[in-house]
């Protein structure tokens, strides 16, 4: 039976467009696999309890918290981390908007904020302020007070993401 | 964070999943993992084998049975529920309540089956499904059985799903003119409920279930009896709710004393019923 339980598993997945094969322990959290095995340290560990959203990535296009998944659960999946946003080295409009609108201070929550906002804009290219607030509810920022983050995402939807405030 | 060692399997069929759950002591079904992975981190749960239901497409559908019941697969996510046209048509309260669970990321992964099988007294769906009169289909090696919501929730973290069994779907009667309501008090805007109440008002009567006040949702039967007539004025509903709080034995914790919960239970039940009355469609 292909499904015999095992303490580790050979997983194949696509990370930022690249095919990856890796043998991982079943108990390994996806965020540790991404950071420590793949070396993609843009995905942050904030609270480790599923509350802060700093570890947000896209799994099959949906935003998820990578500290609340096991790496083995991502077997066969397509993953995008913050490193994959600007795949060609040019900042995306969303990333430029964070810069122009001062949407970060210490920057710790920023990768998660970007991934949640990117998922929103993918599904809803012109979100209202309320829709942005709902979309970012799972991401905690302890510096900015959120105002500039919300403004940056709304600005992208209004086509003025790369213009200063 | 380092979890305790665990074995992992990802079966391709429901039968295989049931065989794995039955054949391994300490085996546990893994749905979206939005509760289980977290409690494993805290080592509050230490399963020996995780049986990941991710590949069981059979459990991911939303549709209608031949007799018109809304059928929701156990692996349907909250996000799926929110976007479902079937839910919108048959029982929109399910989508409405699911949209208030945690946050987008959790709703993208968390499943209906996980929510009910965890049977956390503060979870949103248990009182709602009790009020809606849902039924739960459980499959095991010996076949399938259907359990009504009033019997599904057995205790804190305990349901009618036994060892070696799997919840496969939840069936909800379509509203057919019934009005549904949900009300409660949360910690923060979208946090855990301190108390919640769900109500449905139809031509067949009123069903009210209160959450967070006991190990499992509590049917407010006396209040239901008090609303057996056709008068659903605010005064009548408030009058019917009197004594509900007294009949409860809720816990005291950092979020609220038992007395506070008794009081909020009455208020929430009144609000849920009034909302349901307002949404009822005349037959």
Q: Does B50 touch chain A (CB under 8 A)?
A: yes
Q: Does A43 touch chain B (CB under 8 A)?
A: no
Same domain as A113, residue A74: no
pLDDT score of A1: 46
DSSP string, chain A: -TT--BSEEEEEEEETTEEEEEEEETT-BHHHIIIIIS--TTS--SSSSSSS-TTEEEETTEEEEGGGSBGGGGTT-EEE-GGGTTTTSSPPHHHHHHHHTT--SS-SSHHHHHHHHHHHHHH-SS--HHHHHHHTTT---SSS-SHHHHHHHHHHHTT-TTS--
For residue A79, is pLDDT > 90?
yes
Q: Does A23 touch chain B (CB under 8 A)?
A: no
pLDDT-based confidence at residue A163 (cuts at 50, 70, 90)? confident
Residue B157 lies in a domain: yes
- Mean pLDDT for the stretch of residues B17-36: 97
pLDDT-based confidence at residue B283 (cuts at 50, 70, 90)? low
pLDDT-based confidence at residue A147 (cuts at 50, 70, 90)? very high
Partners of residue A29 in chain B, C-beta under 8 Å: 1, 3, 37, 41
Contact between residue B251 and residue B194 where contact means Cβ atoms under 8 Å apart: no
Instruction: Note the pLDDT tens digit of each residue in B193-206.
Output: 999 999 999 999 99
Residue B201 lies in a domain: yes
Q: Does A61 touch chain B (CB under 8 A)?
A: no
Q: Does A26 touch chain B (CB under 8 A)?
A: yes
CB atoms within 10 A of CB B279: 17
* Angle between helix A147-157 and A93-100 (nearest 10): 140
- Mean pLDDT for the stretch of residues B237-254: 97
Same domain as A99, residue A37: no
Same domain as B117, residue B141: yes
Candidates B16, B33, B105; nearest CB to A3: B16
Q: Rounded to whole angstroms, what are the CA distances from A114 to A105, A162, B60? A: 14, 15, 29
CATH code: domain of residue B26: 3.30.43.10
Same domain as A143, residue A98: yes
**3-state SS class at B136:** strand
Distance from CA of A75 to the nearest CA of B (A): 10
Candidates A3, A27, A62; nearest CB to B9: A3
Strands B70-73 vs B166-172: parallel, antiparallel or unpaired: antiparallel
For residue A162, is pLDDT > 80?
no
Distance from CA of A26 to the nearest CA of B (A): 6
Q: Does A133 touch chain B (CB under 8 A)?
A: no
Interface pTM (ipTM) of the complex? 0.96
Same domain as B45, residue B82: no
Nearest CA in chain B to A47: B1
Same domain as A47, residue A104: no
pTM > 0.90: yes or no: yes
- Asked if A138's CB is within 8 angstroms of B104's CB, the reply is yes
Find the radius of gyration of the CA atoms of chain B: 19
CB atoms within 10 A of CB B155: 11
- Mean pLDDT for the stretch of residues B47-52: 98
Same domain as B119, residue B45: no
**3-state SS class at B185:** strand
- Mean pLDDT for the stretch of residues A142-155: 97
In degrees and rounded to multiples of 5, residue B147 shows phi and psi of: -120, 130
Q: Does B49 touch chain A (CB under 8 A)?
A: yes
Instruction: Note the pLDDT tens digit of each residue in A4-32.
Output: 999 999 999 999 999 999 999 999 999 99
- Asked if A3's CB is within 8 angstroms of B11's CB, the reply is yes
pLDDT score of B1: 80
Contact between residue A36 and residue B77 where contact means Cβ atoms under 8 Å apart: no
- Give the tokens for residue B257: 């004393």
């Amino acid at each position: 039976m292909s499904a015999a339980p095992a303490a580790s598993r050979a997983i194949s997945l696509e990370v930022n467009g690249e095919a990856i094969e890796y043998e991982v322990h079943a108990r390994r959290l996806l965020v540790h696999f991404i950071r420590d095995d793949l070396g993609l340290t843009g995905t942050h560990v904030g609270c480790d309890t599923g509350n802060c959203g700093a570890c947000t990535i896209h799994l099959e296009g949906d935003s998820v918290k990578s500290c609340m998944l096991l790496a083995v659960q991502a077997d066969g999946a397509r993953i995008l981390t913050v490193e994959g946003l600007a795949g060609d080295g040019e900042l995306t409009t969303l990333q430029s908007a964070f810069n122009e609108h001062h949407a970060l201070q210490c920057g710790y929550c920023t990768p998660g904020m970007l991934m949640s906002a990117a998922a929103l804009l993918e599904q809803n290219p012109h979100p209202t302020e309320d829709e942005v607030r709902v979309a970012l509810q799972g991401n905690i920022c302890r510096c900015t007070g959120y105002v500039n983050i919300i403004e940056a995402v709304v600005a992208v939807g209004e086509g003025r993401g790369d213009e200063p405030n | 964070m380092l979890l305790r060692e665990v074995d992992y399997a990802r079966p391709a069929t429901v039968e295989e999943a049931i065989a794995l759950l039955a054949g391994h002591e300490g085996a546990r079904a893994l749905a979206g993992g939005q509760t289980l992975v977290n409690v494993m981190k805290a080592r509050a749960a230490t399963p020996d084998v995780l049986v990941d239901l991710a590949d069981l497409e059979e459990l991911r559908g939303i549709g209608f049975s031949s007799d018109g019941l809304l059928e929701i697969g156990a692996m349907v996510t909250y996000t799926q529920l929110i976007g479902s046209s079937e839910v919108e048509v048959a029982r929109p309260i399910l989508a409405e309540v699911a949209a208030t669970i945690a946050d987008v990321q959790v709703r993208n992964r968390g499943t209906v089956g996980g929510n009910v099988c965890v049977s956390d007294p503060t979870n949103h769906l248990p009182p709602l499904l009790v009020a809606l009169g849902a039924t739960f289909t459980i499959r095991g090696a010996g076949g399938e059985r259907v359990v009504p919501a009033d019997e599904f929730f057995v205790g804190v973290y305990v349901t009618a799903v036994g060892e070696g069994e799997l919840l496969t779907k939840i069936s909800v009667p379509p509203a057919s003119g019934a009005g549904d309501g949900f009300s409660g008090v949360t910690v923060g805007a979208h946090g855990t409920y301190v108390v919640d109440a769900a109500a449905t008002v139809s031509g067949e009567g009123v069903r009210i279930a209160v959450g967070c006040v006991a190990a499992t949702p509590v049917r407010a039967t006396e209040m239901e009896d008090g609303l057996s007539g056709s008068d659903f004025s605010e005064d009548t509903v408030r009058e019917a709710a009197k004594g509900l709080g007294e009949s409860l034995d809720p816990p005291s914790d950092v979020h609220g004393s038992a007395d506070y919960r008794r009081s909020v239970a009455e208020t929430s039940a009144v609000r849920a019923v009034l909302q349901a009355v307002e949404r009822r469609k005349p037959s």
